[in-house]
Chains A and B, each alone.
Chain A
């Protein structure tokens, strides 16, 4: 009961801090949105068109936006407002402007296919009109009425895809932000623990009929609860707001809990070691961002050199990152991520032991 009471007071204080709430709730979800939007979300790509959009208007996979002239169209493409622009003026050969990103290249294929299909339709209409004497419009209606069974193409993927079909920038950004902010906020909110010690509240707790073990356990629970809350905010928030898929729910829940334990342990250790709140915040940000970078939360682990990959798996972030990738990109489940869970729990055990020992020593000596 006392452990819960001490743990709750930590969460209560974190929720009361308005600045802290911004970092706990708003910023992680904002970053999920920004990264998702920047690296390709699930939204329909936009093609700018000068002139007649033609068959493109009926394409379900693109959204057409009309532009008054080529100059405005080019500016929009160059500024990244749209990924491709089509110029179709009377009699001239259509010209396509595309950005050199993934969406631009997809639109290039899509627009070329659409224009080819449209040219084929007109050619078939001409053919029907020439051989039947029907006027052009009627001939095109005849062409449109012909239903051809689609050609069945069996597709199989060779090799290992980095990102599976339908995997969006939101999916990638969400798991990374979950790891970054769960750990980062557990470290920076350890400043509460330092403040509690500095104000003499921890020593005062020790003067109550409460053992040092219970006080340390309560403070540790508080750190884990804050980390877990942060993780849940990103997990549930990103799923509801951006449709992020987290894979097997049991695996995701287990990974979240294990990483919250690691983060809580690190927060406890930092809060026990540091003497001032400024030290805690500074060290927390430095450690949180460094480990996130080395753990593959800024750039996917697959892009790392072999040496850096080894470094990544020396951090809890690397294991958590790979665990979430296993769930969301490789169709893994609770059993597939069991090694990740075991390593993370190991990290947590070491950090908690060190943190508990240091904190107990700090308050009883």
Chain B
């Protein structure tokens, strides 16, 4: 079941078109990663989806409710975790949560629940400004969970946090998705996107330029897994033997060894090693390279994700 459906989103700031004709959907329990370099239009897209920013064109439906005509009803279904630490530093964690619980119409028992979820129960009475960076991030996430939203929008929720807090946030997101929550996630950390996201949309200069699962994107770009072998023995013979293995698309000399282009390195590797060893060639080292989202991203945008 589709929880978020946005189509033809467009927003202009003076002469700059920040987002142009962006459309995608997110299903129940699905985690969708929106990736793009700085200034690509991620936050503008998210702001339109959460109803914070007015759209010049396009429509957002949350559980079938239009943001344009029934904004209040639609916002009840959306939890928003902005990139900045949008909380009062001079209030305690609990006071911050109670304030937003009032705005969301959530009960006080939800405050205790989300404190428990993000692991802040023991520090709930401390001022937010006394929290570590990671704790502030967790509180930031907790506010978005107060009203048990159908769609959770997280804009770089782990930026600048310690590994412990990052792991906690990622685990929280996984659990929420497993419970059926639809999640829209932006991040600068590619490994996070690969760990978390079922599908990814790549946005650049305001346009959604590619969308799909990691493997779909990799295959669409013609990228394949590579196996690099450092060998002792007859390399010419090895080339011929390895080229005959199914799923091996190409063999080329590579330093003191060979590089193989294969369909699926993990599936192919046992056959490759077996073929080599039975032909008197000694394998001194093996290196497997799988094209990742970083490769895809670089290919699509010409930039690294952190640029």
Interface residues of A (CB under 8 A from B): 1-2, 5-6, 9, 12-13, 16-17, 196, 199-201, 203-211, 364-365
Closest A residue to B54 by CB, please name it: A364
B233 part of interface (Cβ distance < 8 Å): no
Contact A204 B80 (CB under 8 A): yes
User: How many Å from the CB of B107 to the closest CB on chain A?
Assistant: 14
Contact A207 B105 (CB under 8 A): no
Contact A5 B80 (CB under 8 A): no
Of B88, B89, B95, B105, the residue contacting A209 (CB under 8 A) is B105
29 intermolecular pairs with C-beta atoms under 8 Å apart: A2-B102, A5-B99, A5-B102, A9-B88, A9-B91, A9-B99, A12-B91, A12-B95, A13-B88, A199-B86, A199-B87, A199-B89, A200-B86, A201-B87, A203-B86, A204-B100, A206-B51, A207-B51, A207-B75, A207-B78, A209-B72, A209-B73, A209-B76, A209-B103, A209-B104, A210-B103, A364-B52, A364-B53, A365-B53
Known contacts A199-B85, A211-B72, A16 near B103 by CB under 8 Å: no
Whole-angstrom distance between the alpha carbons of A281 and B35 in the complex? 40
* 9 closest A-B pairs by CB: A200-B86, A207-B80, A204-B86, A208-B103, A200-B84, A5-B102, A207-B50, A209-B75, A209-B72
Contacts of B84 in A (CB 8 A): 199-200
Q: A9-B99, A207-B52, A211-B72 are in contact. List 19 more A-B contacts (CB 8 A).
A: A9-B88, A13-B88, A16-B90, A196-B88, A199-B84, A199-B88, A200-B84, A204-B80, A204-B82, A204-B86, A204-B100, A207-B78, A208-B100, A208-B104, A209-B76, A209-B104, A210-B72, A211-B71, A364-B53
Whole-angstrom distance between the alpha carbons of A151 and B84 in the complex? 82
Contacts of B100 in A (CB 8 A): 204, 208
Whole-angstrom distance between the alpha carbons of A16 and B75 in the complex? 31
Whole-angstrom distance between the alpha carbons of A209 and B89 in the complex? 23
Contacts of B71 in A (CB 8 A): 211
Whole-angstrom distance between the alpha carbons of A204 and B87 in the complex? 9
Contact A201 B88 (CB under 8 A): yes
Closest A residue to B79 by CB, please name it: A207
Interface residues of B in 39-89 (CB under 8 A from A): 47, 50-54, 71-73, 75-76, 78, 80, 82, 84-89
Highest count of chain B CB atoms <10 Å: which of A2, A13, A209? A209
Contact A204 B76 (CB under 8 A): no
B173 part of interface (Cβ distance < 8 Å): no
Contacts of A200 in B (CB 8 A): 82, 84-86
Contact B52 A206 (CB under 8 A): yes
Whole-angstrom distance between the alpha carbons of A171 and B72 in the complex? 51
Contacts of B104 in A (CB 8 A): 208-209
B26 part of interface (Cβ distance < 8 Å): no
Whole-angstrom distance between the alpha carbons of A204 and B75 in the complex? 11
B251 part of interface (Cβ distance < 8 Å): no
Highest count of chain A CB atoms <10 Å: which of B52, B84, B90? B52
Contacts of A5 in B (CB 8 A): 99, 102-103
Contacts of B91 in A (CB 8 A): 9, 12-13, 16
Whole-angstrom distance between the alpha carbons of A332 and B91 in the complex? 44
Contacts of A209 in B (CB 8 A): 72-73, 75-76, 103-105
B143 part of interface (Cβ distance < 8 Å): yes
